[in-house]
Amino acid sequence: MMPRETFILSITVITLTGVLGYILYKWGTDSLGQITFKRLVEVSFNGNSALYFAIFILGLCMVAYSGYMLRSYSFAMQYLYTPAILAGLIMLFISRFLIGIPLSVTGVGKLTALLTALLVVGTALASHIIFKESFSVRVGLGIALGVLAVILIGEA
């Protein structure tokens, strides 16, 4: 079992890096103006962009291959390259990448509150269906408060 201090420290680091990430992300999106799906897929193809895209893909492949090959030497690489974990991290990356769309038109605090509540409800429902996770009445009430939070935040 993990010592309480280690648990608290890890939650503190996750929270602080998450808050800093959101603040930096908001500053970045503000500097780019309103972001849309259309803007995210805009690409200007020419000789230079094709070359740089190829180099980018090659770099990604090299990182992926070298990390995969390091699995027997590094627990961090074994952890990262566990298929479900890697797929989950990729999905989280896509989610965080796309968050720039609503973030470009609303406040970071309001959006974080809204997404947190939606993620609590969605994750609880998915974990109940997939992992047969049960919830106490107290947790159920907390999830219901999350739904209420979504409704209240959405009206603001």
Residue 112 lies in a domain: yes
Residue 63 lies in a domain: yes
Residue 118 lies in a domain: yes
Q: Which residues constitute the domain of residue 122?
A: 99-156
Token pair in block for residue 34: 């309103």
Residue 146 has pLDDT above 90, yes or no: no
Residue 23 has pLDDT above 70, yes or no: yes
Confidence class of residue 81 from pLDDT cuts 50, 70 and 90? very high
Residue 24 lies in a domain: no
Cβ–Cβ under 8 Å, residues 131 and 125:
no
Of residues 101, 127, 102, the one with CA closest to residue 114: 102
The CA distance from 69 to 46, in Å, is 34
> What's the mean pLDDT in 69-92?
96
Residues 83 and 103 grouped into a single domain = no
Confidence class of residue 155 from pLDDT cuts 50, 70 and 90? low
- Is the pTM above the cut of 0.85? no
The CA distance from 3 to 8, in Å, is 9
Residue 111 has pLDDT above 60, yes or no: yes
pLDDT for 34 equals 95
Question: Side-chain half-sphere of 98: how many Cα atoms within 13 Å?
Answer: 9
Token pair in block for residue 71: 């699995």
More confident residue, 120 or 53: 53
Of residues 145, 52, 137, 150, the one with CA closest to residue 110: 150
